[in-house]
C-alpha cells in the first residue's frame, strides 16, 4: 500500500509539472551559423492564468542583442506585457502594456509614447511558440505595441507580416512551434527547436 501511494504521489507531481509549465529551447542561426539561443517558457498559474517569457540572446560580430518579452494572461485575455531590447548592453526598446478595465495602457519609453486602446487582446506574439494561432487574422505584438496581420499559408505554417513588409514564418508540429524564420540586418535568421 505504501509503495502504491508513493507511485501515486510521484505520478501526480510529475504530471502537474507537465501540465503547469513548458520550456522550449531554440537555437538561433544567422546565415546558417549558430549565433544564439531563445528560451520560451509558458507557466500556468492559479485561477486560469498563465505567464509567458521569451528571452533571446544573439551574438554577432561587434553586436550582442538581448531581448526579453513577458506576458501574463488571465483566461485568454492579456493582463500585462513588457518587451525590452538591448544592443551591446544599451536599452534600445522598452514597451509595457497594462490592462485597465476595458482599455490597455501602452507606454513606449524609447519613443516617449503614452497611449490607450480598447481591450481585449486575446493572442500575442509571445504565445506563438507554445500555441498555434489557428483561425486568427491579427495578433498583438508586444515589441511593436500594435496589432499585426497573420495568416496560415499551408497546413501548420503561419506567416506574420511586420509593418515594414518583412515576414516571420512559424512552422508547427503537434501545436508547438518547431521553427521560425525571419530576416535581420539583411540576413536570413532561423530559430530551430532544440531536441
Separation of first and last alpha carbons in the chain: 38
Residue 165 vs residues 25, 159, 161, 162: alpha-carbon distances, Å = 27, 11, 6, 5
If the chain, 195 residues long, is cut into consecutive pieces of 10 residues, what is the mean pLDDT of each piece? 37 39 95 95 92 96 95 94 96 95 92 88 95 95 93 97 93 97 86 91
Q: Is residue 36 in a domain?
A: yes
Q: Is residue 20 in a domain?
A: no
d(CA 195, CA 192): 9
Q: Is residue 184 in a domain?
A: yes
Q: By residue range, what is the domain housing residue 52?
A: 26-193
Q: Is residue 9 in a domain?
A: no
Q: Is residue 159 in a domain?
A: yes
What local confidence, expressed as pLDDT, does residue 74 receive?
Answer: 95
Task: Give the predicted TM-score (pTM) of the model.
Answer: 0.85
Q: How many domains does the chain have?
A: 1
Q: Is residue 8 in a domain?
A: no
Nearest alpha carbon to residue 81 among 38, 141, 153: 141
Rounded to 5°, angle at Cα 37 from 70 and 83:
20
Beta-ladder partners of 16? none
Q: Is residue 15 in a domain?
A: no
Q: Is residue 2 in a domain?
A: no
Nearest alpha carbon to residue 91 among 106, 104, 108, 105: 108
Amino acid at each position: 500500500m505504501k509503495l502504491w501511494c508513493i507511485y501515486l504521489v510521484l505520478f501526480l507531481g510529475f504530471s502537474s509539472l507537465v501540465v503547469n509549465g513548458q520550456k522550449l529551447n531554440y537555437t538561433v542561426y544567422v546565415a546558417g551559423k549558430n549565433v544564439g539561443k531563445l528560451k520560451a517558457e509558458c507557466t500556468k498559474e492559479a485561477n486560469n492564468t498563465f505567464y509567458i517569457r521569451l528571452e533571446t540572446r544573439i551574438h554577432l560580430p561587434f553586436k550582442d542583442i538581448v531581448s526579453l518579452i513577458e506576458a501574463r494572461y488571465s483566461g485568454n485575455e492579456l493582463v500585462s506585457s513588457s518587451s525590452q531590447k538591448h544592443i551591446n548592453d544599451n536599452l534600445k526598446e522598452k514597451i509595457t502594456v497594462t490592462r485597465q478595465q476595458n482599455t490597455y495602457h501602452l507606454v513606449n519609453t524609447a519613443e516617449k509614447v503614452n497611449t490607450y486602446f480598447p481591450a481585449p487582446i486575446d493572442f500575442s506574439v509571445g504565445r506563438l511558440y507554445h500555441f498555434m494561432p489557428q483561425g486568427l487574422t491579427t495578433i498583438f505584438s508586444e515589441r511593436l505595441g500594435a496589432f499585426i496581420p497573420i495568416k496560415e499559408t499551408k497546413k501548420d505554417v503561419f506567416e506574420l507580416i511586420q509593418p515594414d513588409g518583412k515576414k516571420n514564418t512559424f512552422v508547427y508540429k503537434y501545436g508547438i512551434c518547431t521553427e521560425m524564420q525571419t530576416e535581420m540586418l539583411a540576413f536570413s535568421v532561423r530559430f530551430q527547436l532544440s531536441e
